[in-house]
Homo-oligomer: A and B are copies of this chain.
Amino acid sequence: MAATAVGPGRSTSSYSEVQHNRLIVSLPLPSVLKKPFSVIDGPPSSAAGNPGEIAKLFPNLFGQPSVSLLPGHTSGAALDHTLKIGVVLSGGQAPGGHNVISGIFDYLQEKTKNSTLYGFKGGPAGIMNCKYVELTTDFVYPYRNQGGFDMICSGRDKIESDEQFNQAAETAKKLDLDGIVVIGGDDSNTNACLLAENFRGKGLKTRVIGCPKTIDGDLKSKEVPTSFGFDTACKIYAEMIGNVMIDARSTGKYYHFVRLMGRAASHITLECALQTHPNITIIGEEVAAQKQTLKSVTDYIVGVICKRAKLGYNYGVILIPEGLIDFIPEVQQLIAELNEILAHDVIDEAGSWKKKLRSQSHDLFELLPQAIQEQLLLERDPHGNVQVAKIETEKMLIQMVEAELESKRKEGSYTEQFKGQSHFFGYEGRCGLPSNFDSNYCYALGYGAGALLQSGKTGLISSVGNLKAPVEDWTVGGTALTSLMDVERRHGKFKPVIKKAMVELAGAPFKKFASLREEWALKNRYFSPGPLQFVGPTSNETNHTLMLELGAKA
């Protein structure tokens, strides 16, 4: 199949001033990338867990070293000829994706001759169907420092069956590809490694390099300190939370319940809390560790509301991670039982079906607001399962808090008015203009990925480190993807996975939050960052989570 048009691409003639200004900002590179460098192998690597199983799953790649770029002339191993490289965006958008592509493109332009960069359209399906666009200077330029993934678009397909691997191999051969860069999250990078392994096993010359992307911030390790997009998304959410805080303080009558994107891990919620100092923040990982119930979460919120009422504050801001209910064991149990009942029984109006619920699940179901009960029973996915993702957790909590405060009112222990306002901040954050940090980080990731490919490496994830330092001192290298892997047993088989990095309750970001939350709860320490700015002293600062993880002083 020939190159497919992706439409004319963006035209800068429809750009706003801010977009124009971002376009012409030059992108600094780590100094190691600006002069001749060598790609130096580290020691042999192992796996994050179950190395024996990982070795079996990746016979060609397991144990290969991670690499660092160090100053000095490139060693002989490099591919000196013209390169043909493909790039693909996989999964949800994250600010900075376009800069990764720009980085790869510029690397090829500057360090190789007559090389070609193909952009696979619409995610991994584009590889399998050989749908691509040849990226040219004019085509790529308008996307520099711009948000979104629309240069080549993304998709959620996976290359995992033998047939799919063969399709991908066909494309690699047809386009004579020296390499593919997969920009994606934990799943996509696992798939990138499987593709690298498969191509190597087939004796193809095509190498595969990954890049860490996800606004959720849950793809990270010692070698890959952060995934791109997290920084920008949190800053956009923090702007809005900061505004809502000023609203809360000005009206003096609303509790704003803000649900934040991030289903698996609560990094976004934690980072936004560190940026804005809300009165209450629920961290899913803590809820799970303490085996909290929906009732205990509600009671915690109600407790703070009552204490604030005594201080004369009948307003506040509460942050809730999108994935909260996935962290509550009793809710998981209820949903499992509901799925079973819904599959086999009739839901009668009289409610006799409820007798099939275990006692704890029955109590929980009765505790839920009516609207949520109905949602659980009525809205199901194509497999007939309850759609947990559709539950608007913030609204559910508002209703549960309302009910609890109402019963306190009857006891006489709460006498104020409670008004909850719900918010969901999600889509507006994942396609914003990338922050200075994400712009620079992504450009270095892409440029570094180009260097890894030219040096003949495969099965690595582009790794840029020393992020506490100025950009010129950042380190560049590649981490063996197998070294990040463990296995999970699914359907009786071991599947390789890059474990999601969850919020560590012993980690510096959570500990800082935990040390301050009582003060934030009762005293109003609201912090309003304002809209993302691209100039000024702090515009180059990154996020609290990363800095604290890197050992910055609080």
A residues with a Cβ closer than 8 A to B are 14, 16-19, 21-22, 93, 122, 147-150, 153-154, 236, 239-240, 242-244, 246-247, 249-252, 254, 256, 421, 423, 427-433, 525-538
Q: Which of these, B251, B423, B529, contacts A16 with CB under 8 Å?
A: B529
Chain B residues contacting A16 (CB-CB under 8 Å) are 242, 527-530
Q: Which of these, B428, B525, B527, contacts A423 with CB under 8 Å?
A: B428
Q: Mind listing 17 A-B residue pairs with CB under 8 Å?
A: A16-B528, A18-B529, A18-B531, A147-B528, A154-B251, A243-B428, A243-B429, A244-B428, A247-B428, A421-B427, A432-B530, A432-B531, A433-B530, A433-B531, A531-B531, A533-B533, A533-B534
Chain B residues contacting A246 (CB-CB under 8 Å) are 93, 147-148, 150, 431
CB atoms of B243 and A431 under 8 A apart: yes
Known: A243-B236, A243-B428, A431-B243. A149 touches B423 (CB 8 A): no
Residue of B nearest to A375 (CB): B371
Chain B residues contacting A528 (CB-CB under 8 Å) are 16, 19, 147, 433
Chain B residues contacting A18 (CB-CB under 8 Å) are 529-531, 533, 536
Q: Which of these, B21, B236, B249, B433, contacts A150 with CB under 8 Å?
A: B249
Residue of B nearest to A424 (CB): B423
Tell me, in angstroms, the Cα distance from A395 to B3 when the chains sit together: 39
CB atoms of B527 and A14 under 8 A apart: yes
Tell me, in angstroms, the Cα distance from A242 to B427 when the chains sit together: 11
CB atoms of B148 and A250 under 8 A apart: yes
Q: Which of these, B150, B256, B525, contacts A427 with CB under 8 Å?
A: B256
Residue of B nearest to A276 (CB): B16
A17, A19, A429, A531: which has the most chain B beta carbons within 10 Å? A531
Q: Distance (Å) between the CB of A399 and the closest chain B CB?
A: 12
Tell me, in angstroms, the Cα distance from A154 to B247 when the chains sit together: 11
**Given A148-B246, A531-B532, 8 new contacts (CB under 8 A):** A93-B246, A149-B250, A150-B250, A236-B531, A423-B428, A432-B531, A531-B533, A535-B535
Residue of B nearest to A16 (CB): B529
Q: Which of these, B19, B153, B244, contacts A530 with CB under 8 Å?
A: B19
Chain B residues contacting A239 (CB-CB under 8 Å) are 432, 531
Residue of B nearest to A537 (CB): B17
CB atoms of B93 and A250 under 8 A apart: yes
CB atoms of B93 and A240 under 8 A apart: no
A150, A244, A535: which has the most chain B beta carbons within 10 Å? A150
Interface pairs A-B: 9 shortest CB-CB: A18-B530, A148-B246, A531-B531, A246-B431, A247-B431, A149-B250, A240-B428, A148-B250, A17-B538
Q: Distance (Å) between the CB of A230 and the closest chain B CB?
A: 16
Q: Which of these, B21, B432, B534, contacts A243 with CB under 8 Å?
A: B432
CB atoms of B243 and A153 under 8 A apart: no
